[in-house]
Chains A and B, each alone.
Chain A
Amino acid sequence: MDWTPAPRRSSAMRREQNLALVGAVVSGAVIATGLLMLLVARVNPDGAARVRGVMLDLVTPVWSVVRAPFDGAGRAIDWTGDYLGAVDRNRALTAELAAAKAQLQRAAADRLALVRLQAIDKVREPQRLLLATARIVSATSGSVVRSAMIAAGSNDGVGPGLPVIGADGLIGRTVEAGAHAARVLLLTDPASRIPVIVQRTGQAGLVTGANHPMLELRDRVGADAPLRAGDRLVTSGDGGIFPPGVPVGTIVDASAEPPQVRPAATPVGAAFVMIESAYLPLPASAAPAEPGTPVPVEARRSGGTATSVPRPQSAPVSVP
């Protein structure tokens, strides 16, 4: 048995072919690494937090400088518009002021009554604490993630998981922070979940984004009570991040499923936002199971005759 030997390749050709092979292997390895990183990101979404912070610190100062002349131009246009519409606005505001003064009189009495009732019930309300006021300097307009970068970071006490509030209402919450910059997840992002109540009916629900100008109201408690277009949504304070009572949006289409909500505040333009501390931050560690806690009937039936959790050396039993 014999076969014709393979024709001898020139050394240049061999080199080319070896290089092409190495290139193909490296390309495949790189893509496989990226797929692995995707799975890691699914399991551990908060990985690489420090690198993300450094990236924010690198990008944000540049935009702060670049956008300055555009801000100036925008302000000049605003001033011109203000001068042209001054008379009409003055008349409208005068009428509005008269109505507001009357309302303020009634509200003063209500506030006094509320303070008395709170004193009787010994109500303790957590205080809202302003950490920093910063401007939005850039955004991810070209990505599937709806986020904005603000010029305040961990040096100003801003970390991830804090409420960001604009002049007209809620803007979002911080998700990453560098030393001088932080990233805000906007309400329109599909990952955003805001616990709200409908002001007119008192129903609780969740407002979610959909990469769309309108937000969606989901998981509403008591869905049989109909909503109306024009119903206002404010934060409920559930979840411990957002303080209660911050405007989130207005229902514009109540019959749609899910109901469509127009956000109260838009971060468009040279917007300044306030970063507050979390309203009721979750404790760092779960409360330990108290020894001597009674065990439910089902656990007693399946687990033996012990009527209470044994004191030391056992796994904590969850108490429903």
Chain B
Amino acid sequence: MSWQAPPWRLMNAAERRRYWWGHWRLGVPVMTTVLMLFIMTVPLIVPAPIFPHLGLLAIFVWSTFQPGLLPAWAAFLLGLVADLLFGQPLGVNAVLFPMTAVFVRVFEARFGRHAHGFDWAVASATIIGFELLTWQFMAVAGKPVPLAPLGWQVLTSIAAYPVVVWVCGRAQRAAFGWGGPGTP
């Protein structure tokens, strides 16, 4: 499947305008992830990190749905936004988000077709690895955190995975139609 230029000569002004403005769809994965990161700053003050890491889940899900629209550099920029938003040392999420995107891409290339339950298991493993690396990277950045409370976030994130899949699936259908990009 290769991309083909639209037939300019056959389009009228309205169609050309619609074609150009339709490019906002390319930003749907990034915009959804930013929204998830924003939701993670909900004014719910808890003494332990128990809110699910929706940003990580969105990166994971969009890397499986639309790997072309969430390249590593976009995940890096999203990680910077997350670090600034959460007051973490710059670089913790900025490393882990692109690592997640690359991991999912490589993994999907190797084990492409599988069931939803298998995806959930892989997401769980990714979340556990993410929290372990967060623990290590916070220590590298000079702000060590205890490991045990991160277990709460692992549990809630695994539980929240289907919800994020549902939300991102709705966004994908709204933006790209039922067959995904490239199909009429």
Determine whether B144 belongs to the interface, using a CB cutoff of 8 Å to chain A. yes
Q: CB distance B92 to A147 under 8 Å?
A: no
Across the interface, which residues of A come within 8 angstroms of B95, CB to CB?
31, 34-35, 37-38
Q: With contacts A143-B86, A176-B87 known, is A186 near B45, CB below 8 A?
A: yes
Determine whether A148 belongs to the interface, using a CB cutoff of 8 Å to chain B. yes
Determine whether B146 belongs to the interface, using a CB cutoff of 8 Å to chain A. yes
Across the interface, which residues of B come within 8 angstroms of A176, CB to CB?
87
Annotate B36-55 by CB proximity to A: 1 below 8 A, 0 otherwise: 00101111111111111111
Q: How far is the CA of A12 from the CA of B79 in the complex (A)?
A: 33
Q: CB distance A59 to B85 under 8 Å?
A: yes
Q: With contacts A62-B38, A191-B143 known, is A38 near B92, CB below 8 A?
A: yes
B162: min CB distance to chain A, Å: 18
Q: With contacts A12-B2, A26-B71, A48-B90 known, is A31 near B98, CB below 8 A?
A: yes
Determine whether A142 belongs to the interface, using a CB cutoff of 8 Å to chain B. yes
Q: CB distance A212 to B48 under 8 Å?
A: yes
Q: CB distance A148 to B91 under 8 Å?
A: no
Annotate B98-131 by CB proximity to A: 1 below 8 A, 0 otherwise: 1101100000000000000000000000000000
A-B contact count (CB 8 A): 170
Q: CB distance B41 to A139 under 8 Å?
A: yes
Q: How far is the CA of A190 from the CA of B48 in the complex (A)?
A: 11
Binds A, one of B16-24, B134-142, B173-181: B134-142
Determine whether A51 belongs to the interface, using a CB cutoff of 8 Å to chain B. yes
Q: How far is the CA of A148 from the CA of B86 in the complex (A)?
A: 9
Across the interface, which residues of A come within 8 angstroms of B41, CB to CB?
59, 63, 138-142, 149
| Residues of chain A in range 36-65 having any CB-CB distance to chain B below 8 Å | 36-42, 45, 47-48, 51-52, 55, 59, 62-63
Determine whether B73 belongs to the interface, using a CB cutoff of 8 Å to chain A. yes
Across the interface, which residues of B come within 8 angstroms of A188, CB to CB?
47-48
Q: How far is the CA of A212 from the CA of B47 in the complex (A)?
A: 5
**Is the interface on chain B under 10, 10 to 19, 20 to 34, or 35 or more residues?**
35 or more
For A35, give its contact among B2, B54, B81, B91 (CB under 8 Å). Answer: B91
Which residue of chain A is the closest to B52 with respect to CB atoms? Answer: A142
B164: min CB distance to chain A, Å: 13
Determine whether B150 belongs to the interface, using a CB cutoff of 8 Å to chain A. yes
Q: CB distance B84 to A39 under 8 Å?
A: no
A-B contact pairs, 20 of them (CB 8 A): A12-B2, A31-B102, A35-B91, A37-B94, A37-B95, A41-B141, A41-B142, A42-B89, A42-B140, A45-B89, A45-B143, A59-B85, A139-B45, A141-B51, A142-B51, A142-B53, A142-B54, A143-B87, A190-B143, A190-B144
Chain B interface (Cβ < 8 Å from any Cβ of A): 2, 38, 40-55, 71-73, 75-76, 79, 81, 84-92, 94-95, 98-99, 101-102, 134-135, 137-138, 140-146, 149-150, 153
Chain A interface (Cβ < 8 Å from any Cβ of B): 12, 23, 26-27, 30-31, 33-42, 45, 47-48, 51-52, 55, 59, 62-63, 67, 136-149, 175-176, 183, 185-186, 188, 190-191, 210-213, 266-268
